[in-house]
Amino acid sequence: QVQLVHSGAEVKKPGASVKVSCKASGYTFIGYYMHWVRQAPGQGLEWMGWINPHSGDTKYAEKFQGRVTMTRDTSISTVYMELSRLTPDDTAVYYCARSVVCSSSSCYAGFDIWGHGTRVAVSS
Amino acid sequence: AIQLTQSPSSLSASVGDRVTITCRAGQGISSSLAWYQQKPGKPPKLLINDVSDLESGVPSRFSGSGSGTDFTLTISSLQPEDFATYYCQQFNTYPLTFGGGTKVEIK
């Protein structure tokens, strides 16, 4: 079946970086875009950006520009999200989620498949 | 960024009730709106795409409507498994944004 499987929970110190992975299975990996969305404890959903697994192109939310890097390894159908210069405000569950193609100005659908999420805690 | 304002932020309802949740966008987003359901400890689940297109497997008691800036999610007859938090999302303009959520609780 179609699924996205995340790497395990992380605990980081302020100022550190975290790299979270999301492995896709059950569909053509390069045929869909992959987004990252985070959710702080008890809070709503925040979109961070997407990666086109076929080309490696990325689009980041301005809020995270300079601090986030999304990459992929097509040989193992896995996308990665690295967030640097962590602060306690980055404590959240980080989800990968799939969508159909996006353009430079918009996307064309919502996110139909979500991973179970990776919990990242940032604390001194 | 396009702000999405959901109302109410929470509601209490009984099984069998008709429930309506609204989502207002700060500017026009055409039909680029999706609705999600999230239960505690789980990822969101896509219910409706493009304002009113029900995802495969989603019960027909869920429906969406609206255009431009004002959108609604309706549950025609609330079932026990529908108690959850619901989010709208616009995918018309970057950054993609979500509404603040509506928590549907048991009365």
The tokens describing B85, both together, are 């938090």
A112 touches chain B (CB under 8 A): yes
**A106–chain B Cβ distance below 8 A for any pair:** yes
Interchain CB contact of B64 with A (< 8 Å) = no
pLDDT digits (tens, 9 = 90+) for B56-99: 999 999 999 999 999 999 999 999 999 999 999 999 999 999 99
From the list B81, B26, B75, B82, the residue with the least C-alpha distance to B54 is B75
Contacts of B45 in chain A (CB under 8 A): 114
The size of the A-B interface in CB pairs under 8 A is: 65
* Residues in chain B closer than 8 A to A106 (CB atoms): 32, 91-94
- pLDDT tens digits for range A4-21: 999 999 999 999 999 999
Which of chain B's residues have a Cβ under 8 Å away from the Cβ of A105? Answer: 93-94
Distance from CA of A47 to the nearest CA of B (A): 6
Nearest to A106 among B36, B91, B100 (CB): B91
CA separation for the pair A112, A102 (Å, rounded): 14
The pLDDT tens digits for A49-84 are 999 999 999 999 999 999 999 999 999 999 999 999
Question: What is the share, in percent, of chain A residues with pLDDT greater than 70?
Answer: 100
Q: A106 vs chain B: nearest CA distance in angstroms?
A: 5
**Who contacts B93 (Cβ-Cβ below 8 Å, separation ≥6)?**
A105, A106, B2, B29
Burial class (CB in 10 A: 0-12, 13-18, 19+), B81: exposed
